[in-house]
Amino acid sequence: MAFAGPVLLKRIPADPAQRKLYRWADYNATGGYEGLKKAQSMPPEDVIKLVIESGLRGRGGAGFPCGTKWTFLPKDVHPRYLAVNFDESEPGTFKDRYLIDHDPHVLLEGIAIAAYANRISTSYIYIRGEYHRQARVLEEAIAEAYAHGVFGGKHPGTDIIHNCYVHRGAGAYICGEETGLLESLEGKRGWPRIKPPFPAVAGAFAKPTIINNVETLSCLPAIALHGAAWFKSMGTPSSAGPKLFGVSGHVHRPGVFENELGIKMSVLIEKYAGGVKGGKYKAAIPGGVSMGILGTDQYDAALDFDIGKKYNVLGLGTAGVIVMNDQTDLVRALRNIVRFFAHESCGQCTPCREGTAWMHKILNRIVAGLGKPRDFDLLMEVAFSMGAMPGTTICGLADGANWAVRTFLQKFPEEFKARLKPQQVGGVNITPVAVAV
């Protein structure tokens, strides 16, 4: 493992007073668009091979290998689209916004490389509705890129013209799920689609479509310029490269920090985020609220794509780390998280629609001091039933909700059980079984 310094954030100084927006001239003067030139000097198939070799995995949450995903596009079927996922609506996640706030051209260069490699004719940047400033920044950067021929021309050696547009969302978490995003892009309600067909075969407007996260695509210029071995020299064998970590919650210096995958969470918190504030470390969410929780004894967890197997969480997710000190009421914290999922569930699948709503109701009554002893098992039962078998629900929102609940309960059972009181009638405890839910 060797992290020599920022790759994605190389133009963004740590000192907020020195930060600025890199426009076309600044970006070019600091090596911008060199990666695109290098990529365009190679046959498109070799660019795909390079991305596969680099080990780049998706930074949007699922960690799927980027180059491998590109190979799922059916051969010689055109037009093909690229949908850039800039929905970024998961609580605790703000890394893509930070990057685009300062360096929008790194994404545009990545889009141009992906579009060249895959013969894409239209790239849509699907941006969260609330990101007003970032939409404007991107529109201006796209105009600059058009003026300098990055977009609007033919891919070298083909008749395929590549255009790039910003498409603004309307503010729903579910539109970040890749097929919810496609529905929304098509002007419909953002309801995730049943798969197959997968987007690579029938995506936006029923055409082959690649969906990639902002950070994933922003890695491409550096990979094209410096090569696969350089990229793999950072991180771990299964989690290559640099990564943006957003740190929020009880820390002295919240923000977005770049380091290699595999960094210990304790190092990220203490060396970069200024240490835990207002008490001692108690727990942390590794990557957006859908990933579950790391316990008090998991402070040193390595933040890479193997975190799920090793530490009983769903995964690394977006690497948006939310830190909680020992003054935190985890019952209330979980209630807030579940309220979010209940509100954002699109309602198509019964286990998700009903499960999130019931878990929210049960947690509400526990917070109100009316929790019953059997509520602990009941919460577990509802959570497990939501993800009982693969295919129980259409998309991953239900998994996110149930992993949050079950890992909070598994890792901090006493904190929940202490809030559950036997129900009394006339001063006599009645058995939990006799209490109607």
Ligand X SMILES: Cc1cc2nc3c(=O)[nH]c(=O)nc-3n(C[C@H](O)[C@H](O)[C@H](O)COP(=O)(O)O)c2cc1C
Residues near ligand X, by CB under 6 A: 58-62, 64, 85, 87-90, 173-174, 176-178, 211-213, 216, 395-397
Binding region for ligand SF4 (CB under 6 A)? 174, 192, 345-349, 352-353, 393-395, 397-398
Helices (H) and strands (E) in the chain, counts: 18, 12
Is the Cα torsion angle 267, 272, 274, 280 positive or negative in sign?
negative
- Nearer residue to ligand SF4 within complex by CB, 106 or 185: 185
Could you tell which of ligand X, ligand SF4, none binds residue 211, using a CB distance below 5 to 8 A set by kind?
A: ligand X
Q: CB 303 → ligand X: shortest distance, Å?
A: 16
User: DSSP string of 220-286?
Assistant: HHHHHHH-HHHHHTSEETTEESEEEEEEEESBSS-EEEEEETT-BHHHIIIIIS-SB-SS-EEEEES
349 contact choice in ligand X, ligand SF4, none (CB below 5 to 8 Å, kind-dependent): ligand SF4
CB of 86 to ligand X, least distance (A): 7
How far is Cα 289 from Cα 47, in angstroms, rounded to an integer?
Answer: 34
- Nearest residue to ligand SF4 on Cβ basis: 352
Q: How near is the Cβ of 417 to ligand SF4 at its closest, in Å?
A: 29
Binds 61, which of ligand X, ligand SF4, none (CB < 5 to 8 A, cut-off by type)?
ligand X
Closest separation between CB of residue 173 and ligand X, Å?
Answer: 6
Distance CA 183, CA 193 (A): 8
Smallest separation (angstroms) from ligand X to the CB of 56: 9
Nearest distance, CB of residue 384 and ligand X, angstroms: 19
Q: In the bound complex, what is the minimum distance in angstroms from residue 338's beta carbon to ligand SF4?
A: 13
Q: Which does 348 bind (CB under 5 to 8 A by kind): ligand X, ligand SF4, none?
A: ligand SF4
Q: Which is nearer to ligand X, 261 or 276 (CB)?
A: 261
Angle at the Cα of 246 (from 242 to 247), degrees rounded to 5?
125
Helix 375-386 to helix 350-367 angle, to the nearest 10 degrees? 160
Angle at 130 between CA 101 and CA 248, to 5 degrees: 65
Specify whether the CB–CB gap between 217 and 107 falls below 8 A.
yes
In the list ligand SF4, ligand X, none, the entry touching 87 (Cβ below 5 to 8 angstroms by class) is ligand X
Nearer to ligand X, 87 or 109 (CB): 87
Spatial separation of the C-alpha atoms in residues 303 and 262, rounded to whole Å: 5
Residues 161, 121 contacting (CB under 8 angstroms) = yes
Partner from ligand SF4, ligand X, none contacting 298, C-beta within 5 to 8 A by type: none
Cβ atoms of residues 22 and 103 within 8 Å: yes
Nearest to 62 by CA among 323, 411, 410, 395: 395
Nearer to ligand X, 62 or 367 (CB): 62
Question: What is the Cα–Cα distance from 353 to 54, expressed in whole angstroms?
Answer: 39
Cβ-contact 81, 164 below 8 angstroms: no
CB of 179 to ligand SF4, least distance (A): 9
Bridging pattern class, strands 255-260 and 242-249: antiparallel
Residue 394's binding partner among ligand X, ligand SF4, none (Cβ under 5 to 8 angstroms by kind) is: ligand SF4
Q: Which does 123 bind (CB under 5 to 8 A by kind): ligand SF4, ligand X, none?
A: none
